[in-house]
Amino acid sequence: MMKPKTLLMVSESVHNSDMYYATRFLASDPFIFIRNPQGRSILIVSPMEYGRAIKESILDERDIRSTADYGGEGKKGNRPRREEIILEALRAEGIDEVVVPGYFPVYIADALRAEGISVEPVEELELTKKRAIKADWEVEYIKKAQRACEEAMKIAIEKIRNSRIEGDRLVVNGETLTSERVRAYIEHALIEHGCTCDSGEPIVACGKGAADPHFSGYGAILAHEPIIIDIFPRLKHGRYFADMTRTVSRGEPSAMVKEMYEAVKLAQESAEDMVKEGVRCCDVHNLVCDVFEDMGYETLRSRAHNRVEGEGEKEKVREEGRRGFIHFTGHGVGLDVHEPPSVGDDDYELRSGNVITIEPGLYEPGVGGVRLEDMVLVRKNGCENLTRYEKRLVI
């Protein structure tokens, strides 16, 4: 068995969820975190942040240090550099081996190695894996973010529903309703409910543009066309995300869009019925692929099974690669909007406390797309759907 090693991280915690999870201290400037194999942690922050770290961090006060506690005068007569502080802290703790995340600064790693410290980068931290299992209080934060998400979705869909159809466009108070305007309604609602759009602007994609899953959408919203609305807010206080997608149409869409919608809804319901502790993520994803393939839709899996020869055929596949079910079924949600586990080709066995999305979608170039996304909490014998908002295509 490999001997456990000390974890070393150097980062800010506004964008680095591992750093925030380990310390519950929010800072925009980099600071130092050390955790030994016995679980004892040390937090080293600037003198300016020291008082706040004592008040806000989950670490014991005696394990919170100021950079002023280290080095006195630096090697060049100035205050010590960050790598010098780290080296002194490690030596004081008798540590000569550390593991670091893959994004760890190379120049610090080189400086530590030059002084005899073994620095081993790892692809995924145990800390990140631990984050996948949510405590009850974490789930409450996610639910709070989801309620805000649903309020924003409600406002967006009501604005679309209350618009007037004039030709192929939707009109509100004499002005064409646009993706930008609906997105502004969403963002204002999220702010009012204590959320931000840290991971990007909400998606309001209409018609042909909705065939691209992550197209944000712009310009006029059209009648009788699918409109994908994808909202993924983060709580300002608490820092946890929610994620939800609905597809609607103001006016009757084409028969093709209606068929796509029913197929997506069936695939989602089938996947949610399967989710429980012990089920592999890849099996959930394969079930969704089964549903779509049985209904005649292409998936990434089915295309991968077909051998392609000749440039003409390859070009055709490149085009059709944008058609059908072209992404994974879902992902974990927590301090990041996309975090482990991946509900795709991952062999990960779901565990009670996982919060994942189930978001199958179908896309047809020249027509548009349909996606439905719920967020569910994995339980021992099933799952709890944290998403309450209705599913209705025609509004």
- Residue whose C-alpha is closest to residue 231's, from 252, 249, 217: 217
Confidence of residue 260 (pLDDT cuts 50, 70, 90): very high
| Interval 22-74: pLDDT, tens | 999 999 999 999 999 999 999 999 999 999 999 999 999 999 999 999 975 44
- Residue 268 in tokens: 């989602």
The angle subtended at Cα 203 by Cα 199 and Cα 205, nearest 5°, is 160
How many Cβ atoms sit within 10 Å of the Cβ of residue 100? 21
> For residue 260, what are the contacts with CB-CB under 8 A and spacing of at least 6?
226, 362, 364, 369, 370
DSSP string, 118-149: EEEEESS-HHHHHHTS--HHHHHHHHHHHHHH
Mean pLDDT estimate for the chain: 93
Contacts of 72 (CB under 8 A, 6+ apart): 80
Residue with tokens 């796509």: 260
Percent of the chain residues topping a pLDDT of 70? 93
Cβ neighbours around 318 below 10 Å, total: 10
Above 80 in pLDDT, residue 171? yes
Of the two residues 197 and 234, the one the predictor is more confident about is 234
Cα(152)–Cα(195) distance, integer angstroms: 10
Quick check: 335 and 20 in contact, CB under 8 A? yes
Q: Which of 257, 309, 285, 371 is nearest to 317 (CA)?
A: 309
Question: Residues 352, 312: contact at Cβ < 8 Å?
Answer: no
Compute the distance between CA of residue 127 and CA of residue 57 in angstroms, rounded to an integer: 17
Tell me how far apart the alpha carbons of residues 204 and 186 are, in angstroms, rounded to a whole number.
10
Q: What is the CA radius of gyration of the chain?
A: 25
Domains in the chain and their CATH numbers? 6-131 (3.40.350.10), 136-385 (3.90.230.10)
Instruction: Using the structure block, give the residue that is written with the tokens 């055929």.
Output: 313
> What does the pLDDT read at residue 1?
47
Q: By percentage, how much of the chain surpasses pLDDT 90? A: 89
Residues facing 31 on adjacent strands: 11
Say which residues have a Cβ less than 8 Å from residue 10's Cβ, sequence separation at least 6.
30, 31, 32, 33, 82, 86, 104, 105, 108
Reported pTM: 0.92
- Report whether 221 contacts 178 (CB < 8 A): yes
Region for residue 29 given its phi and psi (left: phi exceeds 0; alpha: psi -120 to 50; beta: otherwise): beta
Q: Which helix (H) or strand (E) holds 379?
A: strand 374-379
231 contacts: CB under 8 Å, gap ≥ 6 = 149, 152, 153, 156, 186, 190, 202, 203, 242, 243, 244, 245
pLDDT of residue 72: 53
Report DSSP state, residue 241. B
Above 90 in pLDDT, residue 308?
A: no
Who's near 259: CB < 8 A, 6+ residues apart? none
Query: What confidence category does residue 330 fall into, taking pLDDT thresholds of 50, 70 and 90?
Result: very high
ω into 341 cis (within 30 of 0)? yes
